[in-house]
Amino acid sequence: MPAQPASTGFRQRFVAGETLVGTFVKTPSSHPVEILGQAGFEFVVIDEEHAPWDRVTIDHALLAARASGTAGIVRVAEPSAAKILAVLDDGATGVLVPHVSSVAKAQEIARACRFRGGRRGFSNTTRAGNFGAVGVWPHVDAQDASVTFIAMIEDPEALDDIDAIVATEGLDGVFIGRGDLTVALGAPAMDAPEIMAACERIIAAAKKVGKPVAMMVANADDANRFHKMGATTFIVASDQGFMRQAALKAYADISAVGAKSA
C-alpha cells in the first residue's frame, strides 16, 4: 500500500506546480474517500454538482479525507457564499467552482474563501477550527493560508476575458472543463481542434500569471500530453468509474471460465 499523502500543504503544492493526482467521488459515502486516500491520491473532489451529496454526507466524506490523509476538495453545486462557507467550515481543503465565466464572479468567490480582504463568515467552533481549539487569529491565518480556490473555466464567454480571470487575486488556479466547452462550442469531441485551441489559450493565460492548471484526463498518455502543454494537476475518472471498470473486467474474466470449459 502506498504511503498516505499529507492533506496539509495541498495549496502550497498546487500553486508550486507539483504533479498532483486526484479523482472525483460521486458516491455519497465516506468509504470511497478512505479507500482512495489510502491508495495514495493526493486529493479527492467531492462532486456535489453532479452527484447526490448533501451537507451531512459531505461532512462525513471530509472527515474520511482527514482520516486517510488526502485533501478533500468540494466541487460545489452553486457558487454562493453560504455554500462555500459550509464546506470550508466542515473542513474542506478547498473548493472547485463551476462556470467561473467573469472577473466579477471570480472576485466574489475569492472573497467568500478568505477572511482577510474577503467576506468569509467567521466561526472557529467547526472542524476547520478544531471545534474551538484554535484561537481567532490563528484560525484566520491558518485558513487563509491553506484554503484553495480553483475556478472551472468551461464557458465560451470566459475565453474572452481569460487573462483577467486567471489574474484575479485570491484565485489559486484553474481547471479546464473540456466537457462543457465541447458541448457549448458544438465540437465533435473533447480533443477536437477548437477544444485543444481553447486549452492552449487558457494554459497560456495561466502561465503568464504563474497560476497552475488542472485537467481531467483519461489515462497516462492524456496526462503526458497536457503536462507538456503546462498542466500539473490531474483528475482521473471517479470512484464510480473505477468500480465500473473493475466490475466489467472481473465479470468478463470469470464468466469466460465457463465458456472455455464448455
The residues assigned a catalytic role are 50
Q: Which residues contact 209 (CB under 8 A, 6 or more apart)?
A: 166, 167
- State the DSSP string of 64-91: HHHHHT-EEEEE-SS--HHHHHHHHHTT
Report the half-sphere exposure of 109 (CA within 13 A, side-chain side). 31
Q: Residue 258 is placed in which grid cell?
A: 465457463
Contact assessment for residue 7 and residue 66, using Cβ atoms and an 8 Å cutoff: yes
Cell 466537457 sits at which residue?
179
Q: Residue 145 is placed in which grid cell?
A: 493560508
Report the alpha-carbon distance of residue 243 to residue 125 in Å, rounded: 37
Q: Residue 141 is placed in which grid cell?
A: 491565518
Report the alpha-carbon distance of residue 153 to residue 67 in Å, rounded: 31
Q: Residue 224 is placed in which grid cell?
A: 503526458
DSSP 3-state of 222: helix
Q: Determine the distance from the C-alpha atom of residue 154 to the mean position of all C-alpha atoms in its chain, rounded to a whole number.
A: 14
Q: What are phi and psi of 178, to 5 degrees?
A: -65, -30
DSSP 3-state of 136: helix
Q: Residue 72 is placed in which grid cell?
A: 478533500
